[in-house]
Structure 1
Amino acid sequence: MFVELFLLRICFLSWLVGLPFYLLSASGLSACAIAGKNERLFTHCLLNASINKPVGPAAAFLLNDKLRRSAQLGIANLPVAVRSLQRFWARVISYSHNKNDRNPNGPLILGDMVFQGKADRVKKAGVLIGAGTGMRTRYFPHAGAYFDYGVNAHYAHSPQHKIGIACISAEACFVKSLRNWRYVDLCIRADRI
């Protein structure tokens, strides 16, 4: 029973992830998918692309949800979550020119002074492989404003140099919509490597 419920949940979530892109392509708004990295720009593009065009009920519901999540007035009084929680995990595969945060290989010359670095403090370059996880939530205390906060943790390892890098970060923002797509963002972020 637990396995069936889990598989059903995965199937539903995969359908839910693909739904916005299906609705966008079906309604002729697929050009806005380019702006998908920036939620406000994506929502603004959706709104401008759908003005004076027939939009189906599912696309209207998606547009209303995006508007309300961007602290804008929705197109109707359709329900929207007061609090939303997003969890994620990601693979980390990257190349770094200075993964151990050290000095360049060679002497440092300042005018007529020459400084020699220690051999164990030379920067190292290479591939980093690992994983990351985190969660974000958005809380709407009232119309036109929201709190957005989250935590992340990543670990990457360099097989070539046997170096592991762990990073933990937290971020909190208060966003207030002024008018005409102008916002005030007050954010604080802390990182620990």
Structure 2
Amino acid sequence: MLAVRERTGPAARAKLWKMPTGLTDPGEDIAAAAVRELKEETGLDCVFDKIICFRQAHGGLFGRSDMFFVCLCKLAPEYEQRLKEGGDFDLLPQEEEILMADWIDFEFYAHQGVWKESPLYKEMNRAMLRAAKKGIYYSNSGDDDNNESHGFVAKDLEVGFRPGRNTIYVSSKL
């Protein structure tokens, strides 16, 4: 999996590998934020596919609730083509925030002390591992009958009763 190590903060002090993460900008959809954050932290372009799982927490900063979405993204087509042709590409960590970015073994990632000691993160990692072990079937693979992947896909749709569009996230199995 693609993971990063931060320059500062609790994750940096623990030398923890984590997935690229960040906050949504005002008015930004989850799918757009996932693509933007991955690009900012690793230099890679990607395409949002689906939400694997999410968690909700309360009592955060300013007494606010917080939602964290684990998103499955796939490499942009130009990278996939380069890999098929035997080529490679560089990861470009964001200098201000990210110490390093790399492809790491998922089992190694999931068994870091902080993750393996937390029931919440064990469940989150289990969901991610299930997605990886079943083989990552992207939503647009065209083989809907044999697609065993689960998650929430984004659909940007007209509201209809007033001008504008909203993004709805629905099960990829429906």
* TM-score band w.r.t. shorter chain: under 0.3
Q: TM-score, structure 2 length as denominator?
A: 0.27
Q: TM-score, structure 1 length as denominator?
A: 0.25
Kindly indicate which of the two structures has a greater share of residues assigned to strand.
Answer: 1
